[in-house]
């Protein structure tokens, strides 16, 4: 593969640069099509970079100005001199053709990107430190970058605002969570949004995630990635929540006759859901997660909602410079997946021990307690912080603190904790006469 000649159209590059130095309008036309790195000849890359800098500063882009800019930047050296730049303007038929020549340059650049992507894929495939399951996804990522780079052009607000106005007459794309009180604040989860549920261990983030998965799976496919528990444990929590079966009885395989009846009553409905649960034996990296999401899409003909339990347990197929950088990469990848696939993505996250060292109301978690990366807060559309408060003589309370909400208001919601059934309920859904003795399971 190394012996392949990289495609280029140097003559078209010369015409593009010549046109840009003859007409500022040509720079506008070309800028919509070409990035600096799309040119192949290193002299042309340098010259186009100078032209773009001048144009971005509303300065002239004629030959004299470009020469002066290159001198200022110390880039007028070797074969790139004033005489060469003057020669670029010679023979340009019309600067009005700049966009056409830019398309020719861009086509050659895309072909180079494909070859370079194939080379990167080959390098990954021969790297023994990268697992075989990650090789395919890393290769796909290399080519996805080419596809993203191939898009071009800009749209003014007038190009899309009519579609936006028409969309206001339709039902919004929010899917409600199982808790009415919480929906009053965040409306539900929306396509393209990333939602973070963060808590200390045992405070209910996995329980809430399972309930959300069950609710969303009634409407669309859901991929539940459990990195902390195996899929059987998640399945047990699901059936416990639906059938009001003690999770301890399920875990100990000691079901009563009434438990088996409840199990049978909900089993068919649970098995019919497009809910795919995978554990760390199948998915532990972002490339593996993307591969599994593609598999779910192939099965159900629709991109799945993705739930990750939990973010900090993901690993990277390549070594990062620090743990914070690594976790930030996971967070950003999930946010981009939500936007690209147009689905909600829910990422569970651990909190550090900062809130346990505070007193009084300050003992409640804060955004600053998100473990290992502030990028999680930055990427999230909404951050829900959980704080469980045992209450003597009554049902335990699970406080949900909406600490960040791009689409609505912040606030707090109090839910009823039923750990024995692996679920939480809105207060008006919880009836004291239906609530058995509290358990200690989480």
How much is the pLDDT for 391?
A: 64
pTM over 0.75: no
Res 148 pLDDT > 60: no
At 91-110, the pLDDT tens digits run 888 888 888 899 999 989 88
Tokens read off for 431: 């009836």
Say whether pLDDT at 431 is over 70.
no
DSSP helix/strand/coil, 145: helix
Nearest by Cα to 422 from 178, 257, 211: 211
Q: Of 116, 114, 139, 141, nearest to 127 (Cα)? A: 139
- What is the average pLDDT score of the chain? 83
Q: What is the pLDDT of residue 437?
A: 42
Residue ranges with strand state E in 62-205: 174-175, 189-190, 194-199
Six token digits for residue 286: 């972002």
* Residue 109 φ/ψ, nearest 5 degrees: -65, -40
Percent of the chain residues past pLDDT 90, beyond the cut = 27
Q: What pLDDT shows up at residue 434? A: 47
Provide the percentage of residues in the chain whose pLDDT is more than 70.
Answer: 86
pLDDT tens figures, 72-89: 999 988 888 999 999 999
**Total count of residues recorded for the chain:** 442
Burial (CB count within 10 angstroms: exposed 0-12, middle 13-18, buried 19+), residue 249: middle
pLDDT digits (tens, 9 = 90+) for 389-407: 766 655 688 889 998 898 8
**What is the pLDDT, as a whole number, of residue 105?**
92
Mean of the pLDDT values across residues 299-303? Answer: 89
Residue 189 CA neighbour count, 13 Å, CB half: 30
The C-alpha angle with vertex 254 and arms to 398 and 440, in degrees rounded to 5, equals 20
CA triple 102-106-110, angle to 5 deg: 175
Nearest to 345 by CA among 377, 314, 304, 313: 304
Kindly report, residue by residue over 24-62, the tens digit of the pLDDT. 888 888 887 888 889 999 999 999 999 988 987 878 999
Confidence of residue 427 (pLDDT cuts 50, 70, 90): confident
| Dihedral angle sign, alpha carbons of residues 48, 50, 51, 56 | positive
Alpha carbon dihedral 189, 195, 201, 207, in 10-degree steps, equals 20
- pLDDT confidence tier of residue 355, bands split at 50, 70 and 90: low
Q: Of 95-99, 323-327, 342-346, 430-434, give the lowest mean pLDDT range.
A: 430-434
Binning pLDDT at 50, 70 and 90, where does residue 237 land? very high
Question: Is residue 333 over pLDDT 90?
Answer: no
Which pLDDT does position 346 carry in this prediction?
Answer: 95
């Amino acid at each position: 593969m190394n012996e392949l000649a990289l495609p280029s159209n140097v003559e078209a590059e010369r015409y593009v640069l010549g046109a840009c130095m003859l007409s500022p309008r040509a720079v506008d036309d070309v800028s919509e099509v070409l990035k600096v790195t799309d040119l192949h000849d290193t002299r042309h890359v340098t010259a186009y970079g100078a032209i773009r800098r001048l144009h971005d500063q509303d300065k002239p882009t004629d030959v004299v100005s470009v020469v002066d800019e290159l001198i200022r930047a110390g880039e007028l050296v070797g074969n790139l001199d004033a005489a060469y730049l003057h020669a670029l303007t010679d023979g340009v038929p019309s600067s009005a053709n700049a966009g056409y020549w830019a398309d020719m340059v861009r086509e050659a650049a895309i072909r180079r990107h494909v070859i370079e992507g194939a080379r990167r894929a080959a390098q990954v495939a021969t790297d023994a430190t990268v697992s075989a399951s990650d090789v395919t996804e890393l290769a796909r990522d290399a080519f996805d970058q080419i596809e993203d780079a191939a898009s071009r052009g800009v749209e003014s607000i007038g190009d899309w605002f009519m579609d936006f106005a028409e969309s206001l007459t339709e039902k919004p794309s929010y899917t409600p969570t199982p808790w009415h009180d919480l929906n009053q604040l965040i409306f539900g989860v929306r396509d393209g949004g990333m939602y973070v549920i963060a808590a200390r261990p045992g405070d209910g983030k996995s329980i809430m995630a399972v309930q959300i998965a069950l609710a969303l799976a009634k409407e669309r496919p859901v991929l539940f990635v459990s990195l902390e528990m195996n899929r059987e444990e998640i399945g047990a929590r699901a059936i416990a929540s639906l059938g009001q079966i003690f999770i301890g009885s399920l875990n100990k395989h000691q079901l009563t006759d009434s438990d088996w009846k409840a199990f049978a009553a909900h089993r068919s409905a649970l098995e019919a859901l497009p809910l795919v649960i995978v554990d760390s034996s199948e998915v532990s990296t972002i490339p593996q997660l993307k591969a599994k999401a593609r598999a779910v899409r192939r099965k159900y003909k629709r991109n799945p909602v993705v739930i990750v339990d939990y973010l900090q347990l993901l690993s990277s197929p390549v070594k990062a410079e620090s743990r914070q950088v690594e976790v930030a990469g996971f967070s950003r990848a999930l946010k981009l997946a939500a936007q690209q696939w147009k689905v909600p993505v829910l990422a569970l996250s651990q909190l550090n021990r900062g809130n346990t060292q505070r007193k009084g109301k300050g003992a409640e978690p804060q955004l600053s307690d998100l473990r290992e990366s502030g990028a999680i807060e930055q990427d999230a559309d909404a951050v829900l912080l959980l704080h469980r408060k045992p209450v003597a003589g009554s049902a335990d309370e699970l406080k949900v603190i909406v600490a960040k909400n791009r689409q609505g208001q912040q606030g707090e919601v109090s839910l009823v904790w039923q750990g024995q059934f692996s679920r939480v309920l809105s207060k008006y859904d919880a009836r004291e006469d239906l609530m058995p003795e509290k358990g200690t399971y989480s």
